[in-house]
Structure formats: C-alpha cells, structure tokens
Structure 1
Amino acid sequence: MPVPGQGTDGVDELGELVCSARGCSRPATTDLRWNNVKIHTPERRKHWLACDEHTDSLSRFLSARSMLREVVPLGDPPAEG
C-alpha cells in the first residue's frame, strides 16, 4: 500500500525523490539496488530509495534476505557491466 502523499515509485507530488521506508517522507539520499535471485535475472536491479536515517535499516533488511546488491549515493551513475 503506498504511503499517503507518495507514489509507488518513490516520487512525491512535487516530483522530489523520497525515502521508501514506510511512513517516511524525507528526501532520499541513497539508492539501494537489489534483486531477488529467485524471481529476477542476475543483472536486474530493483531500487529502494532511502534517507540518511533509514539507509542502514533498509540495507540490513535486504541484506538479511541476500537481496542487497549495491548501496549508491543518489546522483552516482549506474554501474557498468
């Protein structure tokens, strides 16, 4: 269920990138790139955006499920490969 005021893609009504953590509407600073190898091809990347406060907790959540692939500050170019 989307958070009120936030679209499902991490962009609010003003077009700003916001944190993907439930109930958070802070500006996103980090791109958590992940995939679930059970359902995604190895090169596919899904994205969760995180504010400074939620980067660690969202990273731990994905890491505990062996799904976290990269933690990249927003504004960095996509990894080549």
Structure 2
Amino acid sequence: MTLGGINLGAPMEHRHTCSRAGCRDAAAWGLLWRNPKIHTPDRRKTWLACDEHREVLASFLSDRSFPLEIVTVGELDEQQ
C-alpha cells in the first residue's frame, strides 16, 4: 500500500503481529516485561510473539534477568 508515494508495507492481515524483527506472522503470545533498572514495579512493556519466536524473545529477556510473564493474546485483550 502507498500513501503519497510512501510505501506503507503490506496491509495487516491480523490484529496482533509478532515483535521479532522481520516477522509479520500473527502473534499468539504476549510477553510482559520490565527493566528493573529503569522501570518502576508497576510498569510493564509488552512484546508480541508468534509460536515460532516465543522462546527466542523470552530467552532474550530472561538472559537479562528482566521480570517476565507470558500470556496469550486473548488474555491481553481481556486486560484492556
């Protein structure tokens, strides 16, 4: 799709897209995390993951000792 000559990429086919660089697959998981050095305990960031990239994204966060909770995207929708 283009807008004013700017390529906006392919239209989204699903509501939640995997956060892994280059992946455009539908996300099935929400990775809720925070960096305790800069985020207060009540602040959490969310990455989305498809089945294929869930473990690699979770490992990236766990290797840094970031508090992490993994939920389904359905649970994310319920929290909003």
Give the TM bin, normalised by the shorter chain.
0.7 to 0.9
1:4-60 residue CA offsets vs partner (Å, 9 max, x unmatched): 748xxxxx7466210000000000000000000110001211000000000000000
Q: Give the helix-richer structure, 1 or 2.
A: 2
Secondary structure (helix, strand or coil) at the match of 1:43 reads: coil
Over aligned residues, Cα RMSD in angstroms? 2.1
Larger Rg: 2
CA contact (8 A) 1:32 1:68 kept: no
Q: Residues 43 and 56 (structure 1 numbering): CA distance in 2 closer, same or farther, change over 3 Å?
A: same
Runs of 4+ in 1 over 3 A off after TM superposition: 12-15
TM-score by length of 1: 0.75
Kindly tell me: are residues 27 and 37 of structure 1, through their superposed partners in 2, closer, same or farther at Cα, counting changes over 3 Å? Answer: same
Shift of 1:67: 1.2
Normalised to the residue count of structure 2, the TM-score between the two structures is: 0.76
Cα distance between partner residues in 1 of 2:68 and 2:38:
15
Task: Please name the residue that 1:46 is paired with.
Answer: 45
Q: Which consecutive residues of structure 2, in runs of 5 or more, have no partner in the other structure?
A: 1-7
